[in-house]
Amino acid sequence: MDVMEEVVNSLAELGKTVKSTRIDLNTMTKHFKNENSRVTKVLESLINEINGLDERFTELEEKFSKIEEQNKALKSFGNSNAGASISDTERKAIFDDLQEREKRLVEQVQKQLDDFYKRNRRKKFLGIF
């Protein structure tokens, strides 16, 4: 019977080991599922950020091309004596920009003059002078 008891004890120990291993595997599986979902969320957020950057680069590219067009228009405007032509819309854009700058300059000068006159205004002495 010693052999039979050893076999039973060995099987019992093997059963405990298998149960412990199964619990460890279940715990590891749960952990890896959680990690997998966390990594998936991080990857999705990175993909969204990359897509946002793609859109931002597209916007910047459009702005850059507009600036290049304006630069070409200004160059052709400066070289108009050399036979270069400028379109009416480009002339209007340049003229509107110059008008806006002129308006801001006039406002700044007016403000400085107002400040100067306010500083140099004398107070009336007893309401007489």
Does the pLDDT of residue 1 top 60, yes or no? yes
Mean pLDDT across the chain: 81
Structure tokens given for 49 = 């950020």
Q: In the structure, how many helices (H) and strands (E) does the chain have?
A: 2, 0
Instruction: Kindly indicate the confidence band of residue 77, based on its pLDDT and cuts at 50, 70 and 90.
Output: low
Does the pLDDT of residue 85 top 80, yes or no? no
Question: What pTM was estimated for this model as a whole?
Answer: 0.39
Give the angle subtended at the CA of 42 by the CAs of 40 and 45, to the nearest 5°.
110
- The per-residue pLDDT for range 15-70, each reduced to its tens digit, is 999 999 999 999 999 999 999 999 999 999 888 888 888 788 888 888 888 888 88
Q: Are residues 68 and 101 in the same domain?
A: no
Q: Are residues 49 and 72 in the same domain?
A: yes
Containing structural domain, residue 36: 2-85
Q: 14-48 burial, b if ≥16 CB within 10 A, otherwise e?
A: eeeeeeeeeeeeeeeeeeeeeeeeeeeeeeeeeee
Tell me the average pLDDT across 74-87.
60
Q: Is residue 115 part of a domain?
A: yes
